[in-house]
Chains A and B, each alone.
Chain A
Amino acid sequence: MSPVNTRVRTATENSVRSNHTSLPKDGVVGVVRLGSVGEAVMKIVAANLQEILHLPVDILPARQTPEFAYSDQRKQYHAALILKKLAESRRPHPRILALVSVDLFIPVLTHVFGEAQLGGRAAVVSLHRLKQKEEGGGVSLDTFYERAAKVALHEVAHTFDLVHCKQPECIMRLSSGPTDLDALPLFFCEYCEAFLEEAYRRYDIQRLPI
């Protein structure tokens, strides 16, 4: 399944999302880029989150690369520190997703594609390793966008308490690398879909009409 490219609202826009007429003032998920992240990938990620999670998504104004999270020792950015900062955001959005182009790590792992607070507010996705094939060389732009949308969806779903899923056809399945990621579908299995619905009720979040 290819990533969708529907229009989502930016924070400065007053226009209504293309497919939905009765949207709340603020979205449920705010997507923010930290540092040099392309406009197109931002919009595609936001559109896919909105379409698949059935939640209103806003694109927030860009911010600086999170230098505070840089580790001299690892030459990478500490994902947990970025999450902590994001969770403190004054934006009204119950969930905040950041896209970065730098490489991320958590202390115990060599790298992560993304990281999220399980049942928390913040998630972050690194585009750094998504542009490359495992065997070397670059991937097509379509593949890159699709990977970014998948990791974003997976990480945001963690903030709604979803854990890794054993179903082969589910975006919550743990992928062990970009090739695995390419094989995953861009949707949830029926179980995770149900868990997600339950989480919306638990967090009192109103989903968009299908």
Chain B
Amino acid sequence: MPTIIYVEHNGTEHAVSVAPGQNLMQAAVEHAIPGIEGDCGGLCACGTCHVYLPDDLAALVDAPDELEQGMLEFAFDVNDTSRLSCQLIADDAMDGKRVLMPKRQY
């Protein structure tokens, strides 16, 4: 099982074992990681699981689709590395990678 390191905006790190196939929003919510809300439950319909992907992790996932890009407009402090974590599916190659969280989701 890959370990994903969620980094809060203040630098606090949370290492979480994520089952392959699980999305990164779900895993964060299950482990009560502060800073990821996931209000819509993973439907890509709320923009409250916004994260920033460092290059090494971005290289492992597909580019965001139109729906995700649209929902990212609702997120705050979006930049080129922004993604919605409900659309990122864990796999073993992600082991040890870091995901950065924004200051706020609302």
| Chain A bound to chain B | no
Interface residues of B (CB under 8 A from A): none
